[in-house]
Amino acid sequence: MQNYNQAIQLDASFAEAYLNRADEYAAMGNPKAAIADFERAAQLFSQRGNQAEARLAQSRIADLKPPSTAVHRPSRVPVATNPKMALAMHLKQAGAKMYGTYWCSVCNWQREQFGEAAFRQITYVECDPKGANPQLHLCNQANISAYPTWEINGRLFSPGGYPLQELANLSGYQGPRNFGG
């Protein structure tokens, strides 16, 4: 949280910092602060012409607002009680990394286990030079040769996807574990 606060102090137009801080507020159970940051992020993304990220921020606001009493909508689980988001935030705070490639089917399965919003919190390192934002130097430094490979608490785990329960165990996660199917 402190890093996002400092980033925003240095650059009040840093939309990504607002978006990430909003996710942290939501995970901590502060929907009011999360909504304010999501609104600011949506505004800044829109000003930059990045409509996809602006829509993402707006959708996150909808997830946090209580349903209207005038129109019946299915209830949504608030992010603060979403075990997948809580696990992802824990892994992020613990400095965990997932090394993978865009073409790796098991990497994509691992991403699906978290869901789009929660996986955005995971520190993902792309190891293929053709992938988005490749970081080959990090893959080489860690001697990564198969995907996905998780690094948790400074330890590399055998390549392959892990069920969320197992990632929780490996990382010492103590939060809710009803991750669903």
Q: Encode pLDDT of 137-167 as tens digits.
A: 999 999 999 999 999 999 999 999 999 999 9
pLDDT band at 129 (very low <50, low <70, confident <90, very high): very high
Q: CA 50 → CA 55, 89, 153, 154, distances in Å? A: 9, 25, 35, 35
Domain ranges of the chain: 2-64, 82-171
Tell me if 2-64 shares its fold with 82-171: no
Q: What share of the chain in percent tops pLDDT 70?
A: 91
pLDDT value, residue 66: 64
pLDDT value, residue 159: 92
CB-CB contact of 123 with 111 (8 Å): no
Q: Encode pLDDT of 15-25 as tens digits.
A: 898 988 988 88
Residue 19: both structure tokens together: 């978006």
pLDDT band at 67 (very low <50, low <70, confident <90, very high): low
pLDDT value, residue 81: 61
Distance CA 88, CA 84 (A): 6
- 2-64: in CATH 1.25.40.10: yes
pLDDT at 62 over 90: no
pLDDT value, residue 149: 97
pLDDT at 78 over 90: no
CATH superfamily of 82-171: Glutaredoxin (3.40.30.10)
Sheet of strand 97-100: strand arrangement: 123-126, 97-100, 149-152, 155-156
Q: CA nearest 97: which of 63, 126, 55?
A: 126
Which has more confidence, 57 or 98? Answer: 98
